[in-house]
Structure 1
């Protein structure tokens, strides 16, 4: 049996930051079901938020984060996140990452929705994720082995010791492999592929959440899903993200009648929190009115946003005309696998970081450009923890791990049907009636006890989508209020009785628990 110390599932920014900071004495294996370049992190147009300017302060970043997320956070973790942000940027800069600079040679800072200051760090305008990821992938430590196109479909649990001991995988030929390690990290991204419109990479279908759930880990806050307001929308289909930085440069949202749709809806107008803008665009589309991002006032647009310009031209949208058709699409999961302050889940030996995890830093709605920051923050934090506390296997029986090759009849819907129903019944606007009907549809598929050893990768992905969709719907039904990324048409307002209540889900039960929040009192500069 090959000796592996740490297995990392996923190859996005959280995973890559983790491997950069792990001790090189460890044998680290990274498993990714697609190409290492096919990740949400690589696609990220937005930048990294950090209070770097003289007129900014981490306290203001903290307040903006809490305000955007409806004060539903683990405040202590948020404070540590925003205080660490400048150091994380400087660490990357010293390592050789070249951020965009202003004419004084200082890091250029952009503005995005719900930020009170310019604090967004970019690389080449709208390709921040790509260039950070390429830096990581081009500087991979020698102790790290990356296996691409290997789909992790099961987390192996040793029930005698009640700990995670490894994973099962399948490749394109449906061959099964087992890898064992005393520490396994889930870092596979979110749930964008559950919806027909999404900014996410094609490989993101809720695998991490489903893997942890099947293994017995706790999930929380699955109802909180952020829809990015502006995806390129052509002929009834979305084709990629139009970064919030475009609105930060002054672009405005108008409908086909040239009416500015955010007037009177929020003091920040187009730069309101994402759930506010997404809901407004969605309401216009429901009325049969197309919505456009008017970029006519932005000089040198193609130079400032080369990635977006190429995306538009590729899909027949002329930048010269100054009007980009947009629609909201699934962007980010605020909930996920329950973790503690370093990334430990409720299962010994199993960790989670990045979007698959729920650390409490995003509350009910993530602040723009805090996602790459979260990956950098928790990747480094978990690495430091593992470097200090690593424990090899002790008294583990590997011969009990069996592969079940008994064929099973699987009656499953198509991915497209799941996606269509998710948008219709559990999308931007939700009601008890639609959620209940969708849950009944989901429950007809008896998938909880199915062995995945004989299923194809496509079948397993569908099972994971159904499992994850069910947890989202159950949470959305229980939370009888509108808060952040969870909008209930039948309960349109925030409810104080729900403010500190979090919906926890495991294989065996669903319950409500007060969040172990530590309210952090700080003085915010005027």
Structure 2
């Protein structure tokens, strides 16, 4: 099949791109599962935007840099935070129903590491569902969505080095070729590489592995964000408990009632996610269960209907006022290296959303910047593609059929083994010994051959495991090389300056910059 624009993935970045593309373009969206089975649709948290009376994009900018431990691309952050208010207003004007206060203004929530209440929600704790449902119901006629197609190879024009399409396999095992001048990877991150995760079961690092196998530049894979609060019962992570709960007054306590975050960070329970996750992890390591105390939150069930449903389905009695929690993998700050238009190092290949690494998130994503990034990059890439001349990338090319049998299929480990080993050796707290052990295991799985192997002969399940193995290698190898602790990457053998000291330094810098750089940022945004 031919398309002007081929989009792999069906989350907020993919749908925003499709929505903003010219309607005379033929657009195909391929998704490996059903269109709603993804992290965007599951997102409980909201979208960050400086819409409050006392807020400003410059504050959002500073919060993003601080949460990212100053590893961010500051120009990318400035661009994102500057455009955030207009993106929200535009969606609202188009008919997307966000939660409003009694005066008809956006009801703005607070989340960790934000200096102001700036989180826009839809349906309480169903923001992702609200946005995705709106976009699907307003899909342009030129956009075709094809479900249950796993893309397993990027097609590269060897003469020009450009991406001209993909090969995908449907649920019946039939292989299809899709040809396009613009191939966009919007496949999400790789949360399912870990034993405990908030991610949808479809999020296995496919797009990043595809891009790496094709020779695209990959960056910052060591930076994995672990969300502090997943519902944890009987040794299993059973669903996400949004950070908005702590924003409304929820507090983390041990089974004996001791505040988990006491004295660890100036922002307490609303400290950056990596700080909170590490604190909970240390408590669990000592054999102390951790709970989210929600007793101070009025009307919890009506404020958080999705979380209430998750708890009730898993036998957690909310009348007690405590939810058992544990950290789990949540978001990948790294990914396929792109510019702020989504362009990768391979001509004709783009990446947007969590699969991409623009430098916006640095070493640790600020809460509720993920849906925002999808909206932002989807719109920017659409505007760029809309201005490009049409072309036929497959003109004069032939695709010879070759019978092939994968020679390394037997070396593929099980999904369970990948998840257990990644959680143990490349999880919340890493050591040199654990990472080197993980690398040795990956080599034993013939990882170097999997990076180059043809995948035509593999089943969808086997190809998924191959992608997980490649993504695990990229994370582990990057984590070995970064011999420091920063943001979501914590090396026990190379500890960073204490979070308490860093927190004090940040507060002091905010006070000292009110007449300096802080005002310059405001002026730059205004200009």
TM range (shorter): over 0.9
Q: Deviations over 1:194-232 (max 9, x none)?
A: 001111111000001101001110000000000000000
How do 1:198-347 residues align onto structure 2 when only pairs under 5 Å count? 198-347=197-346
Cα distance in 2 for residues equivalent to 1:19 and 1:394:
20
Q: CA deviation at 1:389?
A: 1.6
Corresponding residue for residue 139 of structure 1:
138
Which of 448, 454, 457 pairs up with 2:457? 454
Q: CA deviation at 1:340?
A: 1.0
Corresponding residue for residue 442 of structure 1:
442
Corresponding residue for residue 87 of structure 1:
86
Corresponding residue for residue 513 of structure 2:
none
Matched-pair contact (CA < 8 Å) for 1:167–1:178:
yes
1:463 paired with 2:466, answer yes
Q: CA deviation at 1:173?
A: 1.6
Q: Deviations over 1:414-458 (max 9, x none)?
A: 000000000000000001111001100001122122210000111
Corresponding residue for residue 122 of structure 1:
121
TM-score by length of structure 1 reads: 0.93
Corresponding residue for residue 416 of structure 1:
416
Which of 488, 491, 501 pairs up with 1:488? 491
Corresponding residue for residue 425 of structure 1:
425
Q: CA deviation at 1:394?
A: 5.1
SS in structure 1 of the partner of residue 451 of structure 2: coil
Cα distance in 1 for residues equivalent to 2:394 and 2:98:
48
Matched-pair contact (CA < 8 Å) for 2:180–2:393:
no
Q: CA deviation at 1:391?
A: 3.6
SS in structure 2 of the partner of residue 165 of structure 1: strand
Matched-pair contact (CA < 8 Å) for 2:164–2:394:
no
SS in structure 2 of the partner of residue 389 of structure 1: coil
Cα distance in 2 for residues equivalent to 1:149 and 1:91:
32
Matched-pair contact (CA < 8 Å) for 2:76–2:359:
yes
Q: CA deviation at 1:405?
A: 3.0
Corresponding residue for residue 523 of structure 1:
520
Which segments of 5 or more consecutive residues in structure 2 lack a partner in the other structure? 499-516, 523-527
Taking structure 1 as reference, are residues 387 and 524 closer, same or farther at Cα in structure 2, changes over 3 Å only? closer
SS in structure 1 of the partner of residue 140 of structure 2: coil
SS in structure 2 of the partner of residue 45 of structure 1: coil
Q: CA deviation at 1:390?
A: 3.9
Taking structure 1 as reference, are residues 403 and 356 closer, same or farther at Cα in structure 2, changes over 3 Å only? farther
Q: CA deviation at 1:398?
A: 2.8
SS in structure 2 of the partner of residue 182 of structure 1: strand
Cα distance in 2 for residues equivalent to 1:127 and 1:395:
42
Q: Deviations over 1:2-21 (max 9, x none)?
A: 43111000000000000010
Matched-pair contact (CA < 8 Å) for 2:45–2:368:
yes
Q: CA deviation at 1:400?
A: 3.5
Q: CA deviation at 1:174?
A: 1.2
Taking structure 1 as reference, are residues 402 and 221 closer, same or farther at Cα in structure 2, changes over 3 Å only? farther
Matched-pair contact (CA < 8 Å) for 1:250–1:297:
yes
Q: CA deviation at 1:395?
A: 7.0
Matched-pair contact (CA < 8 Å) for 1:408–1:454:
no
TM-score by length of structure 2 reads: 0.93
Matched-pair contact (CA < 8 Å) for 2:179–2:394:
no
Corresponding residue for residue 477 of structure 1:
480
Matched-pair contact (CA < 8 Å) for 1:60–1:524:
no
Q: CA deviation at 1:406?
A: 3.1
Matched-pair contact (CA < 8 Å) for 2:226–2:329:
yes
Cα distance in 1 for residues equivalent to 2:29 and 2:8:
6
Corresponding residue for residue 5 of structure 1:
4
Cα distance in 2 for residues equivalent to 1:441 and 1:365:
27
Say how many residue pairs are matched. 500
Matched-pair contact (CA < 8 Å) for 1:406–1:454:
yes
Matched-pair contact (CA < 8 Å) for 1:59–1:523:
no
Cα distance in 1 for residues equivalent to 2:492 and 2:288:
21
